[in-house]
């Protein structure tokens, strides 16, 4: 595709730059038109006459106005158009119903109010970042076509999720990196949240989380609460669609999966918490899990291995940065491909049975004694750097797993 931008641009530059009083700048290239330092009240809208028809993105940088009615831009917004308002002191934005804007991004502004007129059937993507919004705009309910809403790095504190329940097309909601301390979600009946599949609350201030209200969302696949201050997770998760649950980087000292029915859950992130034990009822509730991240917790009980070995489909397990003292397995890791046990206090290592191609990282532990027969030759890579003895091998390099492995004593620990 090629568009006659250059000729348009050259003419415009000639036309606009001689007026040195006009402080705004105007540039179109690659289907993106950028208008900088525009003061609509003084400069008027005549410059919009110069936006080429083939434009797909309109960027407004350093826009000099407190309030922007996107309707003002209507004649330059093509079907499937994107409007980006960036680095501007804009405080309020209004999107009229008739607007053809499909993607609206408002980033790095003083936005504290945004209004969507009723019956908007065009806006599919709404993105607000680095704003001063304190609450979810009540008029989001008017965005009948919206598929993704992101309000991130703003000042949201208490969020009533019920307002999103009536949006028939909404698939993704991202409220990450706000100041959310409370979430209100009351069960709203079988028609609510019909397509919502991903919910992100990363980087907020949640302290407790109730899971059961999320059970009403019939399409929910990803629920992300990472990097909050969560000390307690309550309620039973009953979802036939949930695939990923992220509770990483919180303050959990215990988690219970008792009574959960989550047949599709394959990825559970519990890293960077204070867990001393594995989640209660884990074996019954999530026997088919494939990825389990327990990195950086306080696990010390060697009894965890028998429980973990019952998870027959586990492919990736991360228990690095815990306080485990042994890793002696009597059964085979049937599906495991990636087992990270580094940065523990493991003295005893025994993996006699393993699936072909297993990678084991037991770096930065306290292994002093090692018998090659204790490790299955099916193990492709054994990484043992930072132990008193290092007999590790990289079968993919040697081409012959373990056979040529040589042990060497380390003089000094290189692990912190």
Ligand X SMILES: *[C@@H]1O[C@H](CO)[C@@H](O)[C@H](O)[C@H]1NC(C)=O
Residues of this chain that bind ligand X (CB under 6 A): 74, 79, 98, 100, 240, 261, 263, 287-288, 295, 316, 318, 320, 338, 340, 353-356, 376, 378
Measured between alpha carbons, how far is 256 from 291 in angstroms, rounded to an integer? Answer: 18
The CA radius of gyration of the chain, in Å to the nearest whole number, is 28
Distance in Å, CB of 119 to ligand X, minimum: 13
Nearer to ligand X, 241 or 301 (CB): 241
Nearer to ligand X, 118 or 132 (CB): 118
- According to DSSP, the β-strands at 393-394 and 379-383 are antiparallel
Confirm if 157 and 178 have CB atoms less than 8 A apart.
yes
Distance in Å, CB of 19 to ligand X, minimum: 28
Q: How many helices (H) and strands (E) does the chain have?
A: 5, 29
Nearer to ligand X, 23 or 305 (CB): 305
The conformation of residue 413, written as its DSSP 8-state character, comes to -
Distance in Å, CB of 356 to ligand X, minimum: 4
Burial of 378 per CB tally in 10 Å (0-12, 13-18, 19+)? middle
For residue 416, give both structure tokens. Answer: 């912190």
Nearer to ligand X, 263 or 400 (CB): 263
Confirm if 123 and 116 have CB atoms less than 8 A apart.
yes
Distance in Å, CB of 120 to ligand X, minimum: 11
Measured between alpha carbons, how far is 241 from 219 in angstroms, rounded to an integer? Answer: 6
Distance in Å, CB of 179 to ligand X, minimum: 26
Nearer to ligand X, 136 or 346 (CB): 346
Nearer to ligand X, 181 or 213 (CB): 213
Distance in Å, CB of 78 to ligand X, minimum: 8
Distance in Å, CB of 71 to ligand X, minimum: 8
First to last CA, the chain: 56
- According to DSSP, the β-strands at 198-200 and 172-174 are parallel
Nearer to ligand X, 60 or 379 (CB): 379
Nearer to ligand X, 181 or 235 (CB): 235
Buried b (16+ CB within 10 A) or exposed e, 32-49: ebbbbbbebeebeeebbe
Distance in Å, CB of 82 to ligand X, minimum: 14
């Amino acid at each position: 595709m090629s568009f006659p931008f250059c000729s348009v641009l050259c003419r415009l530059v000639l036309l606009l730059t001689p007026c040195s009083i006009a402080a705004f700048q105007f540039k179109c290239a690659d289907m993106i038109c950028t208008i900088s330092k525009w003061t609509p009240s003084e400069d008027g809208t005549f410059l919009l006459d110069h936006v080429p028809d083939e434009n797909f993105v309109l960027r407004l940088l350093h826009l000099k106005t407190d309030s922007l009615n996107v309707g003002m831009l209507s004649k330059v917004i093509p079907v499937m158009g994107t409007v980006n308002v960036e680095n501007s002191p804009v405080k309020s934005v209004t999107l009229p119903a008739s607007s053809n804007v499909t993607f609206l991004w408002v980033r790095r502004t003083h936005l504290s109010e945004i209004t969507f007129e009723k019956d908007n059937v065009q806006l599919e993507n709404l993105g607000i970042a680095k704003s001063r919004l304190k609450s979810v705009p009540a008029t989001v309910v008017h965005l009948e076509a919206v598929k993704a809403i992101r309000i991130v790095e703003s000042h949201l504190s208490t969020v009533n999720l019920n307002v999103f329940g009536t949006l028939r097309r909404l698939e993704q909601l991202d409220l990450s990196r706000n100041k959310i301390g409370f979430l209100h979600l009351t069960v709203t009946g079988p028609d609510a949240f019909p397509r919502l599949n991903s919910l992100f609350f990363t980087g907020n201030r949640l302290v407790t989380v109730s899971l059961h209200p999320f059970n009403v969302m019939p399409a929910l696949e990803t629920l992300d609460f990472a990097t909050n201050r969560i000390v307690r997770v309550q309620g039973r998760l009953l979802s036939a669609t949930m695939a990923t649950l992220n509770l990483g980087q919180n303050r959990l000292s215990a988690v219970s999966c008792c009574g959960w029915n989550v047949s599709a859950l394959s990825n559970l992130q519990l890293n960077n918490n204070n867990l001393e034990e594995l989640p209660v009822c884990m074996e019954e509730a999530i026997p088919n899990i494939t990825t389990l991240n327990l990195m950086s917790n306080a696990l010390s009980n060697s009894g965890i291995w028998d429980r973990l070995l019952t998870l027959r489909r586990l492919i990736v397990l991360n228990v690095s940065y815990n306080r485990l003292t042994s890793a002696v397995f009597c059964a085979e890791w049937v599906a495991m491909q990636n087992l990270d046990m580094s940065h523990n206090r493991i003295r005893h290592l025994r993996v006699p049975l393993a699936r072909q191609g297993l990678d084991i990282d037991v770096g930065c532990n306290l292994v002093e004694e090692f018998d090659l027969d204790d490790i299955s030759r099916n193990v492709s890579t054994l990484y043992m750097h930072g132990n008193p003895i290092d007999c590790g091998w990289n079968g993919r390099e040697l081409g012959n797993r373990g056979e040529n492995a040589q042990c060497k004593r380390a003089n000094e620990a290189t692990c912190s």
